[in-house]
Amino acid sequence: MKALILKDLYVADKQMRLLIILALVFCAVPIEGSLSSLGNTYAMMVALMLPLTTVAYDERCRWDKFAAMLPYQPATIVWSKYILSFLGTLTGAVIILAGTAIRAAVSGAAPAWGEALGTTGMLLVIMVFLTDLGLPLGYRFGSEKGRIVMFVALVAAIGAGVGLTVALSSAIFVIASVPPWVLVLGLVALVVGLTALSVRLSLRFYLKRRNGEYSV
Amino acid sequence: MDAINIKGLTKRYKDFSLEGLDLTLPMGCVLGLVGENGAGKSTTIRLIMDALSRDGGAVTVMGVDNRSPEFLAVKEDIGVVLDETCIPEFLTAKQFGKILSGTFKSWDQREYDGWIKRFDLPEKKKFKDYSRGMTMKLGIAAALSHHPKLLILDEATSGLDPMVREELLEVFADFAAQEDHAVLMSSHIVSDLEKTCDYIAFLHKGRLVLCEEKDALLDKYGILKCARSELGRVDPAAIHGKRVGEYNVEALVERKLVPAGMLVERCTLEDIILYLVKEEKQ
């Protein structure tokens, strides 16, 4: 699997380096007001783009056709994209924390670690959700259509979430009374469960695509 | 032990199907898979490597069912070169070698470096700037650098100039010279197969038209050139294709079945294939 991740890192190397530098700059520059989280969001979006970008490159050069000839289980090929995404997400988190440290060093103020960690944690969870949504769609519809379907699904999910929050506004008080560790554990369980489901779907779509059941 | 053994292999698509393919490649031999574009050569190769799910039949590679978990270990001993090398365009030969060194347990970096040098491939040039010849050479260098026992080549010489083709055919012949090696080579360049192969399998529209030892095939068939009126003397079962002119006729015939006294010329593999395809169409 290491070799597959290495291949993806080589492929996306140039673009990702540029995007990472930009993300670091955005995170390091102090922005006040409603755009204050722009840098953090951008860093995580970069992390999300990494696996989908490599799926697009794989499609373009028909890498999967070659990979099928190599001694890899299909599950290893699919898992490598998830691991790559998690590595990208962790890189995004490191960029956010590094940006916080740089901002503090420049302004002379104490770093706002609590806020940075909270934001990073929340974004990490969101990114894992997005990966879990994006990769199966990428394998099913191809990277280009997959991205469009993912953003449509995302907008729909946010809309549904807002609608649900309004409809169940009384439940907010119940959630607020739950101890934080229970919430964190619940969130972790949800992330693990969703990822397991997402990998299964990705593998199924990957095999169907390899078998020529979907057009490229 | 057979390098490849295929029984009743079937794969159906909406607009094409490979039907009941039986094929055997003994160890120590080179089998040429010939057929026009879309005949099913690449599909057969992908089915052999279990890169495609089959609808029927059985495939064993070096004695192992290609659907069994053990086949993953067998893949370590197979070098594959595809018609499109499928290498990401931003990679260099050096990076590609690093990726494959993490893929094959038996990867031999010195061997790979040796091939890169022998083929005169630039190590740091990006793959997108490679010519077709360089691309195929890189694919072959990669396929040979983990000491495979079986080499599977899908149109590896197509689109190459005669000099490069000759160079690569020599590499394949050297590889096949070892007793514990075997090569399956698909191509529509029949002359390449005639130079290199021990066995020839001819696929036409997803069906195996013939699979025989090359020399036996060349001995078996011949070209009969005679007057149209004379062709009537030949048993129709001996005629496998013909070109009829105004006065004369040229026919692909089975030598043994032609009456004594009629002159049958030696034919090439290409003659056999072309006549058989023509006969199929008629």
Is the domain of B17 the same as that of B128? yes
Q: Which of A70, A207, A212 lies at the smallest CB-CB distance from B103? A: A70
Is the domain of B258 the same as that of B123? no
Give which of B86, B128, B130, B184 to mutate to test A binding, by max A Cβ within 10 Å.
B86
Domain assignment of residue B11, yes or no: yes
Put simply, whether the predicted model's pTM sits higher than 0.95 gets the answer no
Distance from CA of A211 to the nearest CA of B (A): 5
More confident call, B99 vs B259 = B99
More confident call, B54 vs A157 = B54
Q: In this structure, are residues A1 and A80 in contact, taking their beta carbons and an 8 Å threshold?
A: yes
Q: How far apart are CA A175 and CA A183, in angstroms?
A: 8
Is the domain of B157 the same as that of B227? no
Is the domain of B101 the same as that of B138? yes
- Locate A125 and state its tokens: 């969870």
In the three-class reduction of DSSP (H, G, I as helix; E, B as strand; rest coil), residue B61 is classed as strand
Give the burial string for A174-195 (b: 16+ CB within 10 Å, else e).
eeeeeeeeeeeeeeeeeeeeeb
More confident call, A59 vs A163 = A59
Is the domain of B122 the same as that of B150? yes
CB contact under 8 A, B78 and A14: no
In chain A, domain spans: 2-210
Question: In which band, very low, low, confident or very high, does the pLDDT at A206 lie, cut at 50, 70 and 90?
Answer: very high
A18 touches chain B (CB under 8 A): no
Across-strand partners of A132? none
CA-nearest of B26, B13, B34 to B204 is B34
- B227 membership: H or E segment, kind and range: strand B221-227
- The tally of domains found in chain B comes to 2
Domain assignment of residue B270, yes or no: yes
Q: How far apart are CA A41 and CA A116, in angstroms?
A: 12
| Radius of gyration for chain A, computed over Cα atoms and rounded to the nearest angstrom | 19
Across-strand partners of B239? B253
Give the domain CATH number at B173: 3.40.50.300
Domain assignment of residue B188, yes or no: yes
More confident call, A166 vs A81 = A81
Least confident of B40-54, B71-85, B102-116, B151-165: B151-165
Is the domain of B193 the same as that of B145? yes
Q: In this structure, are residues B106 and B146 in contact, taking their beta carbons and an 8 Å threshold?
A: yes
CB atoms within 10 A of CB A129: 17
Is the domain of B268 the same as that of B181? no
Q: In this structure, are residues A77 and B55 in contact, taking their beta carbons and an 8 Å threshold?
A: no
What percent of chain B lies above the pLDDT cut of 70?
A: 99
CB contact under 8 A, A71 and B104: yes
Q: How far apart are CA B188 and CA B38, in angstroms?
A: 10
Q: In this structure, are residues B18 and B201 in contact, taking their beta carbons and an 8 Å threshold?
A: no
CB contact under 8 A, A6 and B89: no
Is the domain of B199 the same as that of B255? no
Is the domain of B106 the same as that of B233? no
Least confident of A65-69, A168-172, B127-131: A168-172
Residue A100 predicted with pLDDT over 70: yes
Residue B158 predicted with pLDDT over 60: yes
Q: Which of B51, B88, B103 lies at the smallest CB-CB distance from A61? A: B88
Residue B255 predicted with pLDDT over 60: yes
Q: Which of B53, B86, B104 lies at the smallest CB-CB distance from A211? A: B53
* pLDDT for residue A15: 74
Distance from CA of B273 to the nearest CA of A (A): 29
With CA atoms as reference, the chain B residue closest to A15 would be: B90
Domain assignment of residue B173, yes or no: yes
Considering only CB atoms, which chain A residues are within 8 Å of B84?
Answer: 62, 65
Is the domain of B107 the same as that of B196? yes
Domain assignment of residue B210, yes or no: no
Q: Which residues contact B157 (CB under 8 A, 6 or more apart)?
A: B136, B165, B168, B169, B187, B189, B192
Domain assignment of residue B141, yes or no: yes
Domain assignment of residue B7, yes or no: yes
Last residue of a domain, which of B176, B205, B234? B205
Domain assignment of residue B268, yes or no: yes
With CA atoms as reference, the chain B residue closest to A72 would be: B72
Q: In this structure, are residues B225 and B263 in contact, taking their beta carbons and an 8 Å threshold?
A: yes
CB atoms within 10 A of CB B22: 13
pLDDT one-digit tens code per residue, B7-37: 999 999 888 899 999 999 999 999 999 988 8
Distance from CA of A187 to the nearest CA of B (A): 35
Residue A23 predicted with pLDDT over 90: no
Is the domain of B226 the same as that of B190? no
Distance from CA of B251 to the nearest CA of A (A): 41
B52 touches chain A (CB under 8 A): yes
* pLDDT for residue A213: 79
Range of the domain at B240: 217-281
ipTM score for this prediction? 0.86
Is the domain of B79 the same as that of B188? yes
* pLDDT for residue A151: 76
Considering only CB atoms, which chain B residues are within 8 Å of A61?
Answer: 86-89
